[in-house]
Every structure is written in structure tokens, then in C-alpha cells.
Amino acid sequence: MILSIIIVSYNTRILLSSLLKSLHNFTFSDKRAHDCEIIVIDNASKDGSAEMIRKDFPRVIFRKNRTNLGFGPANNQGLKMAKGKYILLLNSDTGIIDNTIWGNIKILEDETIIGVAAPRLINPDGSDQSSYGYFPNLFKVICWMLFIDDIPFFIKSIKPYHITHPEKERIVNPDWVTGACMFIRKDVLEKSGFFDRKIFMYGEEIELCYRIKKKGYNIIYNPSTKVLHHKGASSQNQEAGLVEEFVFIKYFFKKYKAPWETKILNLILPVGVLLRVLLFGIIWKDKKKAHIYEKIAETIGR
């Protein structure tokens, strides 16, 4: 089998249905796609997702969890079931555009040194999403906390943790790409291992890319291919994402960095968070963001 498409879903029935319809049409309209399978792992959704899949998409390989296991562990379930030579990890709130699937598989086929390929992510309004970056170290974390990596002049020299102005034409070799849409060779995953089960949400793809690069493979961001991503924009999603981002950075340093680096990080983060509380609360008058960073200060101080 050439391709296994793995989708993890949590209470996204309407978006998931739309995605599965487009993938269903894709597998019937393209002869190459006849050798594909679609695997959906549902993380205990309560919105009727399971009933919808069983009724409307009987060919989909489906598994429903009793509890929400998180993004990484649920993807691991799908990876264990997958039979494809290539894996496409795809968020349920995405939409495939044009030649995205075969454009990225071709890259993996042509260059065996490439372990992961990812497309350009587009917001519903047509703007670009931040979807790749470079592994965090002390310098990058400081630049990130002080917003230095948002200054276009410094981007090339710093190689920021998050790229806020993604490339629109040129193929890039970043350290990591977002897990919303990742094409991975199955044999690479068998060498690097699957997702870290200790990471519930946020950063699991960064940690996975770290191990893949340690095995000698390259990560590719391919902006000539595109995926629409309905990224959660509610204040609740923003808060959870930002909190988990700081939790992940501490975990990443503890797992991969020297103890002295982790100690310095634990000094840097509270200062940076306090600075953001002041900037958002007093200077920029964004009380919601300031409140989020107040919660982050409580979380990382535990």
C-alpha cells in the first residue's frame, strides 16, 4: 500500500465530514489513490462523529477511544494500524488543495534523505499560518520571549523557534513542521520511534522531528503545495495552546538539554512571561492576552 492517511478527531464532526468527503472523492478519482487507506482515530468525541463515520464512510478504518488520549498517543494508534509506505498525518479541520498529496509524496520518493515533507498552511481568509521553525535553545527562547524573532531583519540570522512570516515560494529546510499536515516515510518512523506519549498536546511534532533529524533525515517545507487549516481561534483554544507551549519547552529542555541550560531556562521563562503580562496589559491594552499570560505564570511556577 502506498499511503495511509491518519486523522485524529475530537468534536469536529462537521469539519471532519467535509474532509472525509474530499478524501473519498480523491480516492475514487485518482487511480494512484486506489492504493490508499484512511484511518480515523476519535478521541472520545460527543458530537456524533462516530455515528457519522459509521453511516457515511464505511470504508474508513475507524477507532473510537473511551477517553481523550491527546494528539500524539492517538496518532500512535493509527500508526500501528497503518500499512502504507508513506504516512499522511492530517488534522480533522483541514482541507486538501490541488496537488498537495502527490506533490509531497514525490519529494519523499525522489529524495530518500528527506524524512518529512509539509505543505504551506492557509487560513480561511487566504493568509499564511505559522507552520514551521527551528528547535528551541536558550538564545531562540530569549528572542521569542522578547519578540525579536518577529523582526524581519533578524529572521535569517536567528532562525527563530517559530517562523511568523513563512516562505511562499522557496522550499525550506526547517527543523520542524506542524503536525496539522505531515507527510512521513513509514520506515523513518520505524527508526525514530512514534510520538512521545508523555506529551498530551502541543510540541509533540517538534519532539518527533528532533528524533527524526537525529537519525540523519531532513525536514522539508514545500510551499508549492497548500492545505486549508481552520485553526481554532477561540480564546479557550488560544489559552490552552499557549499554556501547553510553555509546558512543552520546559519538557523539551529537561529531556534533551544539559541541566545547566534547564536551570537558566527556568529563570528566563518567568521573566519573559511577566514582560508579556505588562506589555499586553498596560502597553497594548489586550486584557485577554494579559490574563492568559498570568495563567501561564501560575502554571510554569508550579
Q: Output the tens digit of pLDDT for each of the chain's 302 residues.
A: 999 999 999 999 999 999 999 998 777 666 776 789 999 999 999 999 999 999 999 999 999 999 999 999 999 999 999 999 999 999 999 999 888 999 999 999 999 999 999 999 999 999 999 999 999 999 999 999 988 888 877 777 889 999 988 999 999 999 999 999 999 999 999 999 999 999 998 999 999 999 999 999 999 999 999 999 998 643 456 678 889 999 999 999 999 999 999 999 999 999 999 999 999 999 999 999 999 999 999 988 77
Residue 287, C-alpha cell as written in the block = 486584557
User: Does 170 share its domain with 278?
Assistant: no
Split into its structural domains, the chain has a count of 2
Among 194, 176, 163, 183, which residue's Cα sits nearest to residue 70?
Answer: 194
Alpha helices in 96-234 (DSSP H): 100-110, 138-145, 152-158, 186-192, 204-214
User: Does 119 share its domain with 172?
Assistant: yes
pTM of the predicted structure, to 2 decimals: 0.94
User: Does 116 share its domain with 253?
Assistant: no
User: Does 33 share its domain with 106?
Assistant: yes
Q: How far apart are CA 74 and CA 65, in angstroms?
A: 8
Domain contains 139 = no
User: Does 109 share its domain with 249?
Assistant: no
User: Does 48 share its domain with 194?
Assistant: yes
Q: How far apart are CA 14 and CA 232, in angstroms?
A: 14
**Cβ-contact 131, 177 below 8 angstroms:** yes
**Which of residues 194, 213, 231 is at a domain's end?**
231
User: Does 188 share its domain with 225?
Assistant: yes
Burial level of 41, CB count in 10 A (0-12/13-18/19+)? buried
Q: Which domain holds residue 226?
A: 3-131+166-231
User: Does 76 share its domain with 171?
Assistant: yes
User: Does 28 share its domain with 41?
Assistant: yes
User: Does 30 share its domain with 68?
Assistant: yes
Residue 142, C-alpha cell as written in the block = 530569549
**Which of residues 209, 231, 253 is at a domain's end?**
231
Exposure string of 183-208, with b = 16+ CB inside 10 Å and e = fewer, is bbbbebbeebebbbeebbbbbbbbbb
Domain contains 86 = yes
Among 162, 148, 114, which residue's Cα sits nearest to residue 272?
Answer: 148
Spatial neighbors of 188 by CB under 8 A, at least 6 apart, are 115, 116, 212, 215, 217
Domain contains 113 = yes
Domain contains 136 = no
Spatial neighbors of 17 by CB under 8 A, at least 6 apart, are 52, 56
Domain contains 38 = yes
